[in-house]
Amino acid sequence: MFIVIIGATTGRYVTVIKEMNLFFSKDIVVVAKGVPVIYAFPIGGSLQENVVDKVKEVDGVKKAVPFLFIISSETEEIIQLVPTNVSIGVPPGEWEILVGSTPLKPGGSWPSANQSDNEVVVGTSLSDQYDLTVGSKIEIKNYELKVVGILEAQPALLTRTIIMPLKLAQDIYGYNMLINMIIVEPKEGALEEEIASRIELENGSTKALTSNERNEIIEPLLSDIEKWNLGIRSVLFFLSMILVTMVAMMNVSERRRDFATLDAIGAPKSSIFRTVITETGLIGLFGGLAGILLGSVVAVYLTSFYTSIPVSIVFPGLFYVVSPTLMIEILASTVLVSCVAGVIPAITATRMKIAEVLRSEY
């Protein structure tokens, strides 16, 4: 159960972070110097909007598009593994840079260029949680916004995203003439590394990150998380093996007479060995099934708690939280560990001295 809980929650967290690497994969991300970046998105920081014009003048730059990326949370008392929602301001007409070919649900449209319309597009998870449809009204920081589209998106980030025109996002979140990232598309044949170096040289307050540099920043963290997960799993499997061995030893001790009788009437020792291994294997099988069931339920509740998403929405996506691959892997590992744990008790059962056992038992 604990292996499922730890493996599912950390695995899902790593998957969500890795999905962020899908964004702007061939572009350069420009952020303020010193700002932490998770793959393609900065956590905080700001740049003057006029920096965009300076970046456009850099040799090798085909296009430079300003973005405003805001993580907002409804709950401050708890640490959230995934933010309650993300607001992204994008210049009208540049939506594809963020969402690629991701379509809108039927009946939806992208926000108009008219800022006073206060139009936004929301992700599917947000629309399900708050029962939003095209035409619904939402309120953010005393601004009434109209939902004009719902994304049919799979990446976790987009399912919790509110996309709006850049100017509207600046007004709502108090970023007057400020942004916090610029997406730079290099000209065909230009080298990302050279363009990034020129941008940083000509704009000393910025940091230009290529795809490789963004990977180098986050990969060590993900590697540490996966090592921690593997370490915890190994310790729990080892403790499980010791527990199953102790249970099997007690079972063998309590049935010495039965094993001795079988041996006395000519049963091969190999059959006694297989009997004990089969019993411990069944302990692993049924214990593994019960653990996966309970662990999956707890993992769903933990996901709901740390993301502020209702259980009723998280539960239908159970296999996104606890993947079938993880379930099969843990069940197979549990049965294998239990069978290994039964080896010592099985050997003990086959090495009993028949005469002494029968004399003491009968």
With a CB cutoff of 8 Å and minimum separation 6, the contacts of 90 are 65, 67, 97, 98, 163, 164, 165, 166
* Strand order from edge to edge, sheet including 181-186: 137-140, 143-150, 119-122, 161-165, 85-90, 61-72, 181-186, 28-32, 206-209
- Tokens 């993947």, residue? 323
**φ, ψ (nearest 5 deg) of residue 139:** -125, 130
Distance CA 274, CA 120 (A): 65
125, 129, 146, 252 from 311: Cα distances, Å: 12, 10, 26, 44
Amino acid, single-letter form, for residue 328: I
For each of the chain's 362 residues, which pLDDT tens digit applies? 988 988 888 887 777 777 777 788 889 999 999 888 887 888 888 999 999 999 999 999 999 999 999 986 543 333 333 445 789 999 999 999 998 888 899 999 999 888 788 999 999 888 988 889 999 999 988 899 999 999 987 777 888 899 999 999 999 999 999 999 999 999 988 899 999 999 999 988 899 999 888 877 777 877 888 888 889 889 999 999 999 999 999 988 888 888 888 888 888 888 889 999 999 999 999 999 999 999 999 988 888 877 667 788 778 878 878 889 989 999 999 999 999 999 999 998 888 777 676 666 66
Calculated CA dihedral for residues 341, 342, 348, 352, nearest 10 degrees: 170
Beta-strand pair 137-140/47-48: unpaired
User: Do residues 129 and 309 make contact, with C-beta atoms less than 8 angstroms apart?
Assistant: yes
Residue 315 has a pLDDT of 84
Q: What's the predicted TM-score (pTM) here?
A: 0.75
Q: How many CB atoms lie within 10 A of CB 61?
A: 19
Half-sphere exposure of 187 (CA within 13 A, CB side): 10
